[in-house]
Amino acid sequence: MSRRRGHARKHAVPKSKSSGGEPKSRSYLDRIGAVILAGVTVAKRQFAGHRRATLAVAVCAIVVLLVFQFLGSYVESMEARGWRLVASVPGGTALFWSAAIAAVTSSTEGELPHSLESARAILDSARNRKAALNLTLVVEAGMRAIEAAERGPDLRIAAWNAASAAISYGSALGVDFNVPSDLRDCSLTSPQWVLAKGITDTETTLLLKPIYSSCRLSLDLTLSKKATVYENGFSCKHCIVAYMGGPLAIITPKLTFESSTFDFSPTSQPSDEGLRLAKTLLKSKFLEAEE
């Protein structure tokens, strides 16, 4: 129990006071929607198959979330104490984490730096502990982080770190955290070449594209290598895809992934192509990407 309280104290939920030019009503509506989704998700996981219990817990969770998200912003210290209490009950940690991730999508510009850092830390912890959170909340938080990174340099690194954590966590969640640890490098394996149709206004042609299976793929271009061009696409099945945010080692119109996980470990400012890659991955829920 003391361990859970430690998590609540470390990752405080951002305050909901409005700042900048963002309308308070819009922030509140976004946050209410995210809170409802978080409450229902936690209730379903705690009481799967018991409709009445699920409904009752969902309602209670939503009420608790709303109280500590909004009233806690006006009563000093109430929010932090309330979340320590929530995190101490069964399912409370997942509820607390869900609310903190949901806060990214509804934070004002002034709140966003703290929300991004909290979400990054929580997603890293949730991945390490194999804790299942709602994928929609994770993807929406990742998309908000990408938008913040694209707007300017002030939040670029913090936003890229949060987006990377969302991609790494969300893809692991998609395979129920069954991530292999002893895969060979894809450069040491031979791909399967398959036919892919190419359709234009005048003709249909049969093209070849590679499919790599059960290997570890690095998307970063190193100084000792040149980028490889795959004009007809590139696919991975059951792979671990590593990326640190630099220039891409693969040039192709589309990358597709099946039952693959991503290990995004940013080390510096993200490249523009890296941001495009991350955005399309999030939009497709980790099934495809465009450069």
Q: What is the pLDDT of residues 246-258, one digit of tens each?
A: 889 998 888 999 9
Where do we find the tokens 């059951």?
238
Q: What angle do CA 205, 191, 291 make, to 5 degrees?
A: 65
Write down the pLDDT at residue 39.
60
CA–CA dist 268, 49 (Å, integer)? 46
Contact residues for 58 (Cβ-Cβ < 8 A; gap 6+): 39, 40, 42, 43, 44
HEC string for the chain: CHHHHHHHHHCCCCCCCCCCCCCHHHHHHHHHHHHHHHHHHHHHHHCCCCHHHHHHHHHHHHHHHHHHHHHHHCCCCHHHHHHHHHCCCCCHHHHHHHHHHHHHHHCCCCCHHHHHHHHHHHHHHHHHCCCCCCHHHHHHHHHHHHHHHHHCCCCHHHHHHHHHHHHHHHHHHHCCCCCCCCCEEHHHCCCEEEEEEEECCCCEEEEEEEEEECEEEECECCCCCCCEECCCCEEEECCEEEECCCCECEECCCEEEECCEEEECCCCCCCHHHHHHHHHHHHCCCCEECC
Q: What is the mean pLDDT of the chain?
A: 76
Write down the pLDDT at residue 56.
64
Pairing of strands 234-237, 204-213: parallel
Query: Average pLDDT in the 93-101 region?
Result: 79
CA–CA dist 212, 185 (Å, integer)? 10
Q: Which one has a higher pLDDT value, 146 or 204?
A: 146
**Which of 33-37, 85-89, 172-176 bottoms out in mean pLDDT, i.e. has the lowest?**
85-89
107 pLDDT band, cuts 50/70/90, is confident
What CA–CA distances, in Å, run from 182 to 127, 169, 185, 211, 288?
A: 18, 19, 10, 19, 24
Residue range 187-207, pLDDT digits in tens: 899 999 988 765 555 665 667
Write down the pLDDT at residue 236.
95
**Which of 18-27, 96-105, 152-161, 259-268 bottoms out in mean pLDDT, i.e. has the lowest?**
18-27
Contact between residue 232 and residue 207 where contact means Cβ atoms under 8 Å apart: yes
CA–CA dist 153, 169 (Å, integer)? 25
Q: Of 276, 279, 273, 187, give the one whose Cα is nearest residue 228.
A: 187
Percent over 70 (pLDDT), the chain: 64
Q: Which one has a higher pLDDT value, 86 or 286?
A: 286
Structure token digits, residue 163:
């987006």
What CA–CA distances, in Å, run from 227 to 59, 223, 252?
A: 53, 10, 10
